[in-house]
């Protein structure tokens, strides 16, 4: 299934946007020069009146008299493109590009014309060359979408993902771009999973990939079983103990929760610089009210990653319990600065501000908490709907709790 790109109406509405230099009359004493001057005057009038049907034959006459007129070739190619005359449009655009290779808007339009004609190899070459040089955001988006469509149709999903990442960077708030990025990465993930099935179906890495997919589907008990299979095959598999510990720690089943601590320790035995495992182990110790051990674990985590908002929040919670509100407040302020969506930090900071007699600051933090909590709830609702539609009602022992 190909990614469908929208109509290219936003590319260029006016000729001067494409070629910054306006067409000009060439002076001279010859009849050809006089004819060119007349044709250019007629062309300017047609363009100003937005009459492409009249402008096209005039441009053909100019090109016949001056085959190396870059402006005329480019403008003729653009007008022919929007008339749907792709073969001649491509020929004219290519001629202009050969005379002046840095006309990246022309090259982008040429690539899309080639795509419309089914010349995917030519389209991909021109679109890739032009894409990273385009300064106009709208043109970059349209060229990028065409490039993604070509790469996806050819099964070159890694290249499509690269273009998708650049498009998302250029338009992070565009819903259509986000949907395209989602499609590309979803297909790339499926392709990678199938490749692993062919290459190493019985490997520990295959079990990890299956576990990730099960987590995505919300089947955490089955994911835990896959992680355990993977670790039986390779007890030192990087990251596996930590990922298993996270699932166990977030489980609503007390028996599973009790297994989280040993898994965090196993992760640290493999890699003592695993910041996430130090933080997770600190959470386990804090939940058991082993405050000194938790404090040491959180300190190790923050030493490895001082800007980890979760570790800062965890340490702040512990300091609050140990009656050190000012230290806790400073950490929470850093946590929300690093990650404004940290709802736990906003809530606890609001409580500390209230206790400190700062009602305005407390109100502001509570408003932030409610805002991001509503967004989180909305996302969870959408995700549950998607999961029910794709795999049916959840029959697990409960969703992870944080």
Q: Write out pLDDT tens, residues 102-146.
A: 999 999 999 989 988 988 888 889 998 898 888 888 888 888 898
Separation CA 42–CA 107 (nearest Å): 27
List helix spans (H) across 234-358: 240-250, 254-257, 260-270, 275-287, 291-304, 309-321, 325-338, 343-355
Question: Residues with Cβ < 8 Å from 88, sequence gap 6 or more?
Answer: 80
Which has more pLDDT, 51 or 9? Answer: 51
**Measured between alpha carbons, how far is 311 from 132 in angstroms, rounded to an integer?**
38
Superfamily of the domain at 8-154: Tetratricopeptide repeat domain (1.25.40.10)
Residue 321 predicted with pLDDT over 60:
yes
For residue 374, the tally of other CB atoms under 10 A from its CB is: 11
Task: Name every residue whose Cβ is closer than 8 Å to that of residue 132 and which is 6 or more positions away in sequence.
Answer: 166
CB 358 within 8 A of CB 350: no
Q: Find the mean pLDDT for residues 363-384.
A: 88
Identify the H or E element spanning 217. helix 204-217
Taking 90 as the threshold, does the pLDDT of residue 401 lie above it? Answer: no
Domain map of the chain by residue range? 8-154
Is the model more confident about 143 or about 259? Answer: 259
Task: Name the residue among 371, 373, 309 with its Cα closest to residue 337.
Answer: 309
Cα–Cα–Cα angle for 389, 394, 397, rounded to 5 degrees: 165
Mean pLDDT of 69-82: 89
**pLDDT greater than 80 at residue 334:** yes
Mean pLDDT of all residues in 76-100:
92
Using only the alpha carbons of the chain, give its radius of gyration.
30
Using the predicted structure, report yes or no on whether residue 295 has a pLDDT greater than 50: yes
Question: Distance of CA 296 to CAs 71, 281, 283, 285, Å?
Answer: 70, 10, 11, 10
Mean pLDDT confidence for 43-54: 80
Residues 202-256: pLDDT tens digits? Answer: 999 999 999 999 998 889 999 999 999 999 999 999 999 999 999 999 999 999 9
Question: Across all residues in the chain, what is the average pLDDT?
Answer: 85
Report percent pLDDT > 70 for the chain: 88
Query: Terminal CA-to-CA distance of the chain, rounded, Å?
Result: 38
Evaluate whether 220 touches 254 at the Cβ level (below 8 Å): no
User: Do residues 111 and 130 make contact, with C-beta atoms less than 8 angstroms apart?
Assistant: yes
CB 207 within 8 A of CB 226: yes
Q: What does the pLDDT read at residue 360?
A: 96
Q: How far is CA 277 from the centre of its chain?
A: 27
CA distance 323 to 317: 10
Structure tokens given for 362: 């407390």
Q: Which residue has the tokens 């395209």?
A: 180
Q: Which is more confident, 301 or 171?
A: 301
């Amino acid at each position: 299934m190909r990614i469908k790109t929208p109509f290219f109406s936003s590319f260029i509405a006016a000729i001067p946007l494409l070629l910054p230099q306006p067409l000009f009359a060439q002076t001279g004493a010859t009849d050809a020069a006089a004819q060119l001057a007349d044709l250019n005057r007629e062309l300017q009038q047609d363009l100003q009146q937005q009459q492409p049907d009249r402008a096209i034959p005039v441009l053909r006459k100019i090109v016949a008299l001056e085959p190396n007129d870059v402006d005329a070739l480019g403008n003729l190619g653009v007008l022919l493109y929007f008339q749907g005359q792709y073969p001649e449009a491509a020929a004219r655009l290519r001629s202009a590009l050969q005379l002046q290779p840095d006309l990246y808007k022309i090259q982008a339009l040429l690539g899309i014309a080639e795509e419309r004609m089914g010349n995917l190899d030519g389209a991909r070459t021109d679109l890739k060359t032009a894409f990273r040089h385009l300064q106009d955001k709208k043109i970059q988006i349209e060229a990028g979408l065409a490039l993604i469509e070509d790469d996806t149709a050819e099964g070159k999903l890694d290249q499509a993902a690269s273009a998708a990442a650049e498009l998302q960077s250029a338009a992070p708030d565009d819903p259509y771009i986000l949907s395209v990025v989602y499609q590309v990465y979803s297909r790339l993930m499926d392709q990678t999973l199938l490749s692993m099935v062919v290459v190493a179906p019985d490997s520990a890495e295959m079990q990890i990939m299956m576990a990730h997919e099960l987590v995505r589907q919300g089947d955490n008990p089955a994911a835990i079983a896959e992680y355990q299979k993977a670790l039986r095959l390779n007890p030192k598999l990087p990251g596996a103990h930590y990922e298993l510990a996270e699932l166990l720690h977030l489980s609503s089943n007390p028996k599973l929760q009790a297994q989280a601590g040993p898994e965090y320790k196993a992760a640290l035995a493999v890699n003592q610089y695993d910041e996430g495992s130090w933080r997770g182990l600190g959470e386990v110790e804090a939940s058991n009210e082993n405050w000194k051990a938790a404090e040491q674990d959180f300190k190790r985590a923050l030493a490895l990653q001082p800007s980890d908002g979760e570790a800062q929040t965890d340490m702040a919670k512990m300091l609050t319990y140990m009656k050190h509100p000012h230290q806790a407040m400073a950490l929470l302020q850093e946590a929300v600065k690093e990650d404004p969506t940290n709802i736990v930090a906003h809530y606890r900071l609001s409580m500390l501000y209230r206790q400190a007699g700062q009602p305005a600051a407390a109100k502001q933090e509570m408003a932030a908490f409610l805002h991001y909590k509503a967004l989180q709830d909305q996302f969870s609702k959408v995700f549950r709907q998607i999961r029910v539609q794709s795999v049916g009602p959840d029959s697990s022992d409960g969703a992870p709790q944080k």
